[in-house]
Amino acid sequence: MHGPRLVLIGPMGAGKTTVGREVARRLGVPFADLDALIVDRDGRSIPEIFAADGEEAFRRLEARVLAHALATHAGVLALGGGAVGDPASRALVASHPTVLLEIDESAALRRVHAGRGRPMLAGEDPLERWRTLTAERLPLYREAARWSIEASRGDVPAVARRVIAAV
Ligand code: S3P
C-alpha cells in the first residue's frame, strides 16, 4: 500500500479542503479530508466531539485516524489545522510529500467566521485566537512540510496550480 500522493497542511482558513479537492481532481486521484474521516469514524461532528470529550480526546482520535489515512490513502489528503501538533504525527507527516498552505491575517479574517464549527476558535475574538494559534504552529508546519505555498491570493484553481507546480 502506498501513502498519499500529496498531504496539505496549514492554519484554519487556508483552504486545505477546497484546494485539496481541486488538486486531486486535476491529478485524477482521490481526495480525503482528515476531519471528514474523523467524523465518519466517530459518528459525531467535530464540535460535538470537543464538547463531549475535550480537546485531548479529539487529538488522540485525530492521531489514530491520521496514521491510518497516511498508510492507506493513495490520493490527496488534507489535514486539520492542529493535526501536526503531536510530535509523532508531525514526524509521520514529514515522511510524506507535504505542502504547507500559508495565509495572511486579512485572508484569515475573510475566511474564518466567528469560530462556528471550529471549537479551537470559540470565544470572544476568533481572529485573535487564530493569530495566536497560527504563530505557535507555524514552526511545526514548517518542520512537517517540504514545500510552502502562498494561499492568500488567487482563486482555488490558481492556488491548486501553484501546489501542483511546486511538488
Ligand atoms: C483544528 C482545525 C480544524 C479541526 C478542528 C481543530 C485546529 O480543521 O480539525 O476543529 O486545531 O486547528 P480545519 O483546519 O480544517 O479548520
Locate 39 and state its grid cell.
467524523
- Nearest-atom index, ligand 1, CA of 47: 10
Kindly state whether residue 58 falls inside one of the protein's structural domains.
Answer: yes
Domain, as residue range, for 139: 6-166
- Nearest-atom index, ligand 1, CA of 14: 14
12 lines ligand 1 (CB under 6 A): yes
How do the pLDDT tens digits run along the chain, 167 residues long?
A: 578 899 999 999 999 999 999 999 999 999 999 999 999 999 999 999 999 999 999 999 999 999 999 999 999 999 999 999 999 999 999 999 999 999 999 998 888 875 568 999 988 888 999 999 999 999 999 999 999 999 999 999 999 999 999 99
| Residues 6 or more apart in contact with residue 89 via CB below 8 angstroms | 62, 63, 66, 67, 83
Ligand 1 pocket: which of 7, 9, 12 to mutate (most atoms <8 Å of CB)? Answer: 12
- Nearest-atom index, ligand 1, CA of 133: 12
Against a cut of 0.80, is the pTM above it?
yes
Number of domains in the chain: 1
Task: Give pLDDT, residue 115.
Answer: 57
Task: Give pLDDT, residue 124.
Answer: 85
Kindly state whether residue 1 falls inside one of the protein's structural domains.
Answer: no
Residue 21 marked as a ligand binder: no
The interface pTM score, or ipTM, of the predicted complex is 0.98
Kindly state whether residue 62 falls inside one of the protein's structural domains.
Answer: yes
CA torsion 56→6→71→80, rounded to 10°? 10
Rounded to whole angstroms, how far apart are CA atoms 5 and 71? 11
The CATH number of the domain holding residue 122 is 3.40.50.300
Kindly state whether residue 133 falls inside one of the protein's structural domains.
Answer: yes
Give, using CA atoms, the residue closest to atom 8 of ligand 1. Answer: 80
Ligand 1 pocket: which of 44, 120, 129 to mutate (most atoms <8 Å of CB)? Answer: 120
Kindly state whether residue 131 falls inside one of the protein's structural domains.
Answer: yes
| Residues 6 or more apart in contact with residue 139 via CB below 8 angstroms | none
Rounded to whole angstroms, how far apart are CA atoms 102 and 113? 18
